[in-house]
Structure 1
Amino acid sequence: MIIKQFQKCRPDSKTFFRLSESCLHGDFDEKSLRGAGPSVYHANSCGAYFFYKFRNFVLLAFLACLSFSCQNDTVYHTYQAIPENFGWGRGDSLNFYFPPGIPPAAYTLEVGIRNTDMYPYRDIWLEATKVMSDTLPAVTDTLHFYLADENGRWNEDRSAGGYYQSTFVCDEPLVIGTDSFNRSLHIIHVMRDNPLPGIADVGIRLLRK
């Protein structure tokens, strides 16, 4: 089928202008193209025709390559669910334990949050305690993320599961040392509500810098 379409686009084809007008939606006039020569006919019409015909395929291929590249940069990625009927209790720690196979390095840390319409605020305050070395004390960072804008619109549209997804990149890298064996990250919320409603899942992702 592609060969036949290409043959129709050849400059010596009698159906060339009918094809070019259809695939270019009439944006180019036949008379304005006559003086440009056969090579211009071919470049402007056939190129646009094939781009219009296969633009969805090209877009999907580009997104697939981008997704594959991001997956290659991902070292660790997981989510933990919070019971919606009970909410997220203050002091209830979400514990993420890193597998020993992750090589020592400085990684970009992403925090993902899925929430429902029941979440009453536009922002959230968290504390993340990192245990990255067996010889150094744990380090606790305070994280402040916005889940909605000033007008109350969530960062992302509702997903198929009925949740709103937000992803945040932490300013400080997560450094895994050579002497780290029990490497872990512990996240709690420091909001006033106890329990905190509307938070469905919290996850982390480690990316190569």
Structure 2
Amino acid sequence: MQWEEPNVSLFTMLNKTLRSKRREPLRPWFRYLKLVLTALFKLPSLKATIWRGVQGNLTDQYDDDQVWWGFSSCTESLNVTEQFVGKSGVRTLFTIECINGKAIRAHSHYKEESEILLLPGTYFRVMGKSNPAKDLYIIHLRETPAPRLYLEPPFTSTSSDSFVTTEPATSTPTKKPISNLESLPSSAAAAAASPIKTKKYQEFAPADSKKLY
């Protein structure tokens, strides 16, 4: 999904569309999303502490609860995160307590990365922030069930093993859910109710490769 020109790769363009303020541009992706999400929802949900690294200081953006709208690549290994984001320069590490991570190592070409994928619409409570060393910032996130549905399952599940949903949190950024994948191709995505802030950053990528956050 990612190749030599990351700014025009499938991964980048899909995430850019998922993070858009508008839902209508997502319609051409519905069939692909249903295929991918059907597979991912059938994988067991992982409850673990995982890591994600980006370049730059993002602490000012994490005062309130957050929703990550794209597919978010994380890892169980702090060493892997440091390999991608580096050990110098201004950088932010996310330490994430996830409950619905999808371990895709067995399906990845880069098995040594121990990749954990977070699905679109993952909702976080900000637990804390720190600055343990010069140019190094750490944000502690805890995945919690969202107060509203942001990603509808691609099929009706009879088991609770694939995705965790419990009592909702109390507040959330406002945006329409990614839906309705079951009724393809007739369903349309609704427009977002309020703007979603974006920021360019580098995530598990070379220094000259920018992605949208």
Which TM-score applies when normalising by structure 1? Answer: 0.24
Which TM-score applies when normalising by structure 2? Answer: 0.23
Larger Rg: 1
Greater RCO structure (CA 8 Å; 6+ sep):
1
